[in-house]
Amino acid sequence: MQKFTLHKGLVAPMDRENVDTDAIIPKQFLKSIRKTGFGQNLFDEWRYLDAGYPGQDPASRKPNPDFVLNQPRFQGASILLARKNFGCGSSREHAPWALDQFGFRAIIAPSYADIFFNNSFKNGLLPIVLTEVQVGHLFDDVAAFPGYTLTIDLERQRVIKHNGEELPFEVQAFRKYCLLNGLDDIGLTLRHADKIKAFEAERLAQKPWLAHTMLA
């Protein structure tokens, strides 16, 4: 998992409340658990005017010119600004996969659905909670200043605006530790690889028949 320490990025505004996971990555694309290839279908039904299907060449699609992520000024955005209850709906880890693979490193919103919020941290995507007033001001700034960027300092837990103003945010200590060090659940386990190997060697020395059982 990619580490998240200090990130400066272009901001794209998703000015909708209750954006659900089926909008983030529609159900027809949930045919793989490989964690790759989902970015091209992020917000598929909003980004394109034609119906998409798995394996389709994105170059053959008809982009919706009115959708925010298709507008030239937001190309390359890596911070998504959203409204309340982002990521609601059905549970699917594919949603943060798609956002991450599209190029987003962080989301800023007043609130999130619990499962999406948890899944984001586990996949290296930082969901930041600010107040509705703060988020509203950021929407105004993005609209007023083309090329609007923010800097996110996870160590200090600050969103830094273009004028130097800092907006503090809360993040649970363990989640912060994992993001700063680029550790997902597998990475956390592999920190103890030597102890696991030693345990397995000792167990097989004491119970050698287990080797044949495992091979069978």
H/E element, 212: helix 209-215
pTM for this entry: 0.87
Burial 161-191 (b: 16+ CB within 10 A, else e): beeeeebebebeeebbebbeeebbeeeeeee
Q: How far apart are CA 99 and CA 43, in angstroms?
A: 9
pLDDT tens-digit map of 109-133: 999 999 999 999 999 999 999 999 9
Query: In a 3-state reduction of DSSP, which class is residue 176?
Result: helix
Q: What residue spans define the domains of the chain?
A: 6-183, 184-216
CATH of domain 6-183: 3.20.19.10
pLDDT tens-digit map of 124-172: 999 999 999 999 999 999 999 999 999 999 999 999 998 999 999 999 9
pLDDT at 57 over 80: yes
How far is the CA of 184 from the CAs of 10, 95, 100, 120, 129, in angstroms?
Answer: 26, 16, 14, 11, 21
